[in-house]
A and B are shown apart, each in its own frame.
Chain A
Amino acid sequence: MIPAAFEYTRASSLQDALGILASDEGAKVIAGGQSLLPLMKLRLAQPARLVDIGRLAELRGVRRLDDGRLSVGALTTYAELADSPAVRYGVVADALPGIGDVQVRNRGTVGGAVAHADPASDLPAALLALDAEVVVQSAAGSRTVPVDGFFQGAFTTALARDEILAAVILPAPRADAGSAYASLEQRASGYPIAGVAAVVVLGAGGLIEWAGVGVTGVSDHPYRAREVEAALVGTTGSPEAVAAAAALVVGDREVNADIHAGREYRAAMAVVHARRAIGAALARVR
């Protein structure tokens, strides 16, 4: 399968790429291409121009900021992320091996996964649970926004047409936090039918002081389950408390249904995997 014809421009710098985006409404950014090229080959996407940002060193790599947070450049591949300090977060280490396959992880990028906003992408759940931020660049300047709120619908984000996602910022790792990701994968594609990422911070007396819960595959976009988080905070994280909190993971959201999983089953699996993810996160910090 061959994509529809397009013009191709390799950007020489981020500013160059932003300039092209600002001046050409038909332009679309390509990085690793692991999501975009399959869509173009199926002609579900037919951009008039591709702006290749894949070589921009300024968008590559994971570095520790002065305050301990990690800045993950948009072009960091899944494989590079797996070789970076980011795997100190259990939730990232858990999610990465299940994303795509070796070849996809060698080319697919963190920024691409976030900007593409597949409703069943694994990484967004982890980023939501970690309360990560995204750095968005346009010709006018840069803005940093929480990941929570960035995903707005299936394949739809807060990214404007002339903006490029430059980096994802992860909070500083902390010894009093544990995190984990648990998902039910569709066996052939590997995409989660329901995937839940959990981060818990233990405070005085072993009580849960803060919790982050990200959910993917379940609704039209990955979301943060604040009801679950609120139910966990202040508890000891006993099995009963975890089960009661996990039961709130779907709430009144519209649940996806397809040939692999109907609404009821998918919602049930979301609860099961919320329980498992929270339990595993707690086990890692206790």
Chain B
Amino acid sequence: MAELHVALEVNGEHREVDVEPRTLLVTMLREDLELTGTHVGCDTSQCGACTVHVDGRAVKSCTVLAAQADGTSVTTIEGLGQVGSLHPIQQAFWDKHGLQCGFCTPGMIMAAADLVARNPDPSEAEIRHAIAGNICRCTGYHNIVAAVREAAAVMRGAAASA
């Protein structure tokens, strides 16, 4: 199989990778670009641990070909915030205990970021609907929902004072 040349923006940086056509976006992110913050959970489009943004929309990167992401702008959890300068959603997951083992967390946060970008003041029901494609197997969703509400409030405050 001829390799494909994929050129895209990842977390604001231009990246180019040669991949087999069957390479999944998540595989390219983790193995070629060494961005292992994006997790592979079920690998069957159910669990949402692999959620990243492609051109500003949350997608499951285990169900997108790397070739399909050619020319797009991809944001992974590494692009959202850094240690010492966490994104408000990351900070809220920390403050509200929105995780236990943390495996689902990158995908959960990327799904939440997609929601808050579109709906700055989501209700509990809207949050639960928005993370329906993300599965947490530790403890449930109560603190995750609380974290997203908290983050949305913080982000609204920041927007209002900006």
A interface residues, Cβ below 8 angstroms from B = 1-8, 10, 30, 33-34, 37-38, 40-42, 50, 52, 54, 79, 97, 100-104, 106-107, 190
Specify which chain B residues have a CB less than 8 angstroms from the CB of A54 in the assembled complex.
Answer: 68
List 6 other contacts, CB 8 Å, given A30-B68, A34-B45: A6-B22, A33-B68, A103-B111, A103-B133, A107-B63, A107-B64
Is the beta-carbon distance between B65 and A37 smaller than 8 angstroms?
yes
Is the beta-carbon distance between B132 and A101 smaller than 8 angstroms?
yes
Smallest beta-carbon distance B121→chain A, Å: 17
Q: List 22 A-B contacts (CB under 8 A).
A: A2-B27, A5-B20, A6-B1, A6-B22, A30-B65, A33-B68, A34-B45, A37-B63, A37-B64, A38-B45, A38-B63, A54-B68, A101-B132, A101-B134, A102-B111, A102-B114, A102-B129, A102-B133, A103-B60, A103-B133, A107-B59, A107-B64
Q: A34-B63, A103-B60 are in contact. Are A1 and B43 (CB under 8 A)?
A: yes
Which of A7, A10, A100, A102 contacts B2 (CB under 8 A)?
Answer: A7
Q: List which B51-71 residues lie within 8 A (CB) of chain A.
A: 51, 57-60, 63-65, 67-68, 70
**Tally of A-B residue pairs with Cβ under 8 A?**
83
How large, as a class, is the contact surface on chain B?
Answer: 20 to 34
Interface check B155, CB cutoff 8 A: no
- A interface footprint on B95-139 (CB within 8 Å = 1, 0 otherwise): 000000000000000010011000000000000011111100000
Smallest beta-carbon distance B23→chain A, Å: 8
Which of B4, B21, B58, B70 contacts A103 (CB under 8 A)?
Answer: B58
Is the beta-carbon distance between B67 and A10 smaller than 8 angstroms?
yes
Residue of B nearest to A4 (CB): B22
Which of B65, B70, B114, B129 contacts A33 (CB under 8 A)?
Answer: B65
Interface check B146, CB cutoff 8 A: no
Interface check B161, CB cutoff 8 A: no
Residue of B nearest to A5 (CB): B1
Cα-based distance from A54 to B70 in the complex (angstroms): 11
Is the beta-carbon distance between B67 and A102 smaller than 8 angstroms?
no
Is the beta-carbon distance between B60 and A2 smaller than 8 angstroms?
no
Is the beta-carbon distance between B64 and A41 smaller than 8 angstroms?
no
Specify which chain B residues have a CB less than 8 angstroms from the CB of A2 in the assembled complex.
Answer: 22, 24, 27
Interface check B48, CB cutoff 8 A: yes
Which of A3, A33, A102 contacts B130 (CB under 8 A)?
Answer: A102
Cα-based distance from A170 to B2 in the complex (angstroms): 42
Interface check B85, CB cutoff 8 A: no
Interface check B82, CB cutoff 8 A: no
